[in-house]
Chain A
Amino acid sequence: MSSTTAAHHDEHHDHPTGIMRWLTTTNHKDIGTMYLTFSLIMFLVGGAMILAVRAELFQPGLQLMKPEFYNQLIGVHALVMIFAALMPAATGFANWMLPLQIGAPDMALPRLNNWGFWLLPPAAILLTLPFTLALFGIGDGAIATGWTFYAPLSIQGGMGVDFAIFSVHLLGVSSVLGSINVIVTILNMRAPGMTLMKMPMFAWAWLVTAFLLIATIPVLAGAVTMLLTDRHFGTHFFDAAGGGDPILFQHLFWFFGHPEVYIVLLPIWGFMPQILQTFSRKPMYGYKAQVVSLWAIGALALVVWAHHFFTVGMPVPALLYFMYSTMAISLPLAVLFFCWIATIWKGSLSFETPMLFATGWIVLFGIGGLTGLVLADVAADAQYHHSYFVVAHFHYTLFAGGMMGVMSGVYYWLPKMTGHMFNERLGKLHFWLTAISFNLTFIPQFFLGLAGMPRRIPDYALQFAEFNAISTVAAFVLGLSQLIFVYNIVSCARGGKKATDRVWEGAEGLEWTLPSPPPYHSFTEQPIVK
């Protein structure tokens, strides 16, 4: 808190220090920092889990673990990465940057905001506790069904399933509260003069995300509640012997699960054009087209879910509907891609770390999108379904499209948040190591999938050995190079070259008009936007 106004406010409010500051805080910057820190920690936890999996897959045969433990690791890895790493990262950015970008003094519902965050650590503990309990001989470990909870397997599973169900309930409540807060903030708290069509793209994207969240998370909550009552209270929602239907679970799950993909990615599509325009030093291309595309994708996301289980035995008309509607999503998504490329087209580009991640993100996320189009084809999907092709595809969307997008955002806003510049050399090293090892990890998995290696199995046939060995070595490089990221963030928070208010030469937007770091209370007098 270097600025004098900030010091004044701190005294004025006399807020607690130490742990009580973080437990009781309603300040959007504090809560944003907690979300982002939580996300980073869980990113490392989820990464460690999958490195254990890759170590097992280094050679054919079972060397390191039992298949049961393997099954637990892959499921919890996915749940941790999606619910505890990617989603909190997006919410953290929303907390930190939305009020600054729209000129609001804070989020609209600050106490709800505090509660929304503090539901997350208990949820993460619930999810991972069964691992520890199993070490003491209690229960048989964490959920072993994969992250999708498919019935009837999840009905037969051990108490790890119950832990995961309650964890998902908590995570769901947290995201719903966060979303309500975002919607109210965006609709009610904008600076005078900032009409909806003058909002930063990040605000638009988060608005769509928040509506998707409050429309689909409750459906997931309902589905896992039915699972819970099937397991313990004698209902038969998903039990065929009692008149239920296991396929119903897949419909309910993916009614949430497909929009979830966009929930994770949309906030990144929001801030990415801002990063691209900053380092291209020219205005964003196609603002209106991007806004319309974001809403179109949000709407289509709700009606395409069954492409996740084409092979379940649907009649041809249903297959055709879900195939064509899924492919229709590529139209607005292509509009977004063209807008991103047109934004940097003939710009005065410079490749600082955030821009390296942003341009790498366009290419790699493009591969993720195009391979998704292959999977959306019913005839091709019969071959690729449940193979490593799917694993490679969704890691191109969720690691490259998701996590590398988040990293771009972190490097972009870190100087603003901390007031210090990060180590640019280490940032660039982090990018190149990440981009190269990521491709070396997952390109072999495309080939493995095409050759017929099924996912979620701890052992494999001998002919898959070479590709798996390459993938494992690259995965360890990928995992270890994230330690550079952690080191860079921590050292940047502790000190370094002082950041200017604008930080980046071409940065536009209200957040860059504030000092770096911004005072604890900002925009108590709202700016007028012309």
Chain B
Amino acid sequence: MNSHEKRQQDNKKLGFKLLWIVGAALLFGFALVPLYNVLCTVTGLNGKTNATADVTSNKVDETRWVTVEFTSSVMPGLGWNFYPEQPSIKVHPGQIETVNFVAKNNTNESVAGQAVPSVSPGLASPHFKKIECFCFKRQELKAGETKLMPLRFYVSTDLPKDVNAVTLSYAFYNAVKPAN
């Protein structure tokens, strides 16, 4: 039965080797979380706009008009009103603009919210630069308080030629815990 025992040894060895693949696949699953964000940031897929501005190297392209549209939504669990002061604005690429959003807390307690931006078309998102935004940190509104929330931005001059309109959408969430 010597060969039988040797085979059992071989089987166990191969079994444990295959467990390494299982472990690697599990790690890969968790590694996808940061990898996914890296991919989104690099390629601008999924409309993630983490692009903040570099104000100094700013040239305005006055030959071109781009319409920037604003939409807003309040997610369930947050008793606020939230809307842009103007539905859209026409800008030249490179030109810095400021627009205001209005947020009102309809509840009778102090609530913190976190706005999450998204830009479509997704390919435009790396070219949408925010200099100052209420979405950079949590916003706290006291009971019944109304607040103007400013956004300073520009659309960079290297925005693809076929993009004439960019939609910026904000979803306001109830920020239960500090955002990272």
Measured CB to CB, the residues of A under 8 A from B are: 108-109, 112, 176, 179-181, 183-184, 187-189, 214-223, 226, 234, 236-237, 239-243, 245, 247-248, 251-252, 255, 313-316, 318
Shortest B110–chain A CB gap in Å is 17
Assembled-state Cα–Cα distance A520/B122 (Å): 62
Q: Is B7 at the interface (CB under 8 A from chain A)?
A: yes
Which residues of B (26-49) have their CB < 8 Å from a CB of A?
26, 28-30, 32-33, 36-37, 43-47
Shortest A197–chain B CB gap in Å is 20
- Select which of B25, B32, B120 is within 8 A of A214 by beta carbon: B25
Check A184–B26 contact: CB distance below 8 A.
no
A-binding segment of B51-59, B94-102, B144-152, B170-178: B170-178
Check B36–A251 contact: CB distance below 8 A.
yes
Task: Identify 25 residue pairs between A and B in the complex whose beta-carbon atoms are under 8 Å apart, listed by A's number.
Answer: A180-B19, A180-B22, A183-B14, A184-B15, A188-B7, A189-B7, A189-B11, A215-B25, A217-B22, A222-B26, A222-B30, A240-B75, A241-B173, A241-B174, A241-B175, A241-B176, A242-B179, A245-B46, A251-B32, A252-B29, A252-B32, A313-B46, A315-B123, A316-B123, A318-B45
When C-beta atoms are compared, the residue in chain A nearest to B19 turns out to be A180
Q: Is B12 at the interface (CB under 8 A from chain A)?
A: yes
When C-beta atoms are compared, the residue in chain A nearest to B30 turns out to be A222
Check A109–B22 contact: CB distance below 8 A.
no
Check B12–A109 contact: CB distance below 8 A.
yes
Check B21–A215 contact: CB distance below 8 A.
yes
Q: Is B10 at the interface (CB under 8 A from chain A)?
A: yes
Interface readout for B1-23 with A: 1 if CB under 8 Å, 0 if not? Answer: 00000010011101100110111
Measured CB to CB, the residues of B under 8 A from A are: 7, 10-12, 14-15, 18-19, 21-23, 25-26, 28-30, 32-33, 36-37, 43-47, 75, 114, 116, 120-123, 171, 173-177, 179-180
Q: Which residues of A contact B122 (CB under 8 A)?
A: 313-315
- Select which of B29, B44, B177 is within 8 A of A222 by beta carbon: B29
Check B75–A241 contact: CB distance below 8 A.
yes
Q: Which residues of B contact A214 (CB under 8 A)?
A: 18, 21-22, 25
Check A112–B179 contact: CB distance below 8 A.
no
Check A188–B11 contact: CB distance below 8 A.
yes
Assembled-state Cα–Cα distance A183/B15 (Å): 8
- Select which of A188, A240, A245 is within 8 A of B10 by beta carbon: A188
Shortest B65–chain A CB gap in Å is 23
Assembled-state Cα–Cα distance A219/B23 (Å): 10
Assembled-state Cα–Cα distance A181/B16 (Å): 11
Shortest A135–chain B CB gap in Å is 29
Check B180–A187 contact: CB distance below 8 A.
no
Q: Which residues of A contact B19 (CB under 8 A)?
A: 180
Q: Which residues of A contact B10 (CB under 8 A)?
A: 188
| Contact A226:B33 (CB < 8 A) given known A109-B12, A313-B120 | yes
Q: Which residues of B contact A313 (CB under 8 A)?
A: 46-47, 120, 122
Shortest B159–chain A CB gap in Å is 14
Q: Which residues of B contact A315 (CB under 8 A)?
A: 43-45, 121-123
Check B14–A188 contact: CB distance below 8 A.
yes
- Select which of B26, B32, B46, B180 is within 8 A of A243 by beta carbon: B180
Beyond A108-B14, A248-B32, 19 additional contacts (C-beta under 8 Å) are A109-B11, A176-B22, A189-B11, A214-B18, A215-B25, A218-B23, A219-B26, A219-B29, A219-B32, A222-B26, A236-B180, A237-B33, A241-B116, A241-B174, A241-B175, A242-B179, A248-B33, A252-B32, A315-B123
Q: Which residues of A contact B22 (CB under 8 A)?
A: 176, 180, 214, 217-218
Shortest B151–chain A CB gap in Å is 18
Assembled-state Cα–Cα distance A271/B120 (Å): 48
When C-beta atoms are compared, the residue in chain B nearest to A179 turns out to be B18
When C-beta atoms are compared, the residue in chain A nearest to B120 turns out to be A313
Check B29–A183 contact: CB distance below 8 A.
no
Shortest A312–chain B CB gap in Å is 8
Assembled-state Cα–Cα distance A79/B41 (Å): 34
Assembled-state Cα–Cα distance A518/B12 (Å): 27
Q: Which residues of B contact A316 (CB under 8 A)?
A: 123
Assembled-state Cα–Cα distance A441/B69 (Å): 46
Shortest A250–chain B CB gap in Å is 11
Shortest A378–chain B CB gap in Å is 14
Check A109–B15 contact: CB distance below 8 A.
yes
Check B29–A112 contact: CB distance below 8 A.
no
Assembled-state Cα–Cα distance A242/B120 (Å): 21
> In the complex, which of the residues A221, A226, A240 has the most CB atoms of chain B within 10 Å of its own CB atom?
A240
Assembled-state Cα–Cα distance A214/B12 (Å): 17
Check B14–A187 contact: CB distance below 8 A.
yes
- Select which of A108, A183, A242 is within 8 A of B180 by beta carbon: A242
| Contact A234:B26 (CB < 8 A) given known A109-B12, A188-B7, A318-B45 | no
Q: Which residues of B contact A255 (CB under 8 A)?
A: 29, 32
When C-beta atoms are compared, the residue in chain B nearest to A156 turns out to be B76
Shortest B24–chain A CB gap in Å is 8
Q: Which residues of B contact A245 (CB under 8 A)?
A: 36-37, 46
Shortest A67–chain B CB gap in Å is 18
Q: Which residues of B contact A215 (CB under 8 A)?
A: 21, 25
- Select which of B36, B47, B179 is within 8 A of A241 by beta carbon: B179
Check A180–B15 contact: CB distance below 8 A.
yes
Q: Which residues of A contact B11 (CB under 8 A)?
A: 108-109, 184, 188-189
> In the complex, which of the residues B25, B43, B46, B176 has the most CB atoms of chain A within 10 Å of its own CB atom?
B25
- Select which of B23, B44, B177 is within 8 A of A242 by beta carbon: B177
- Select which of B45, B114, B177 is within 8 A of A234 by beta carbon: B177
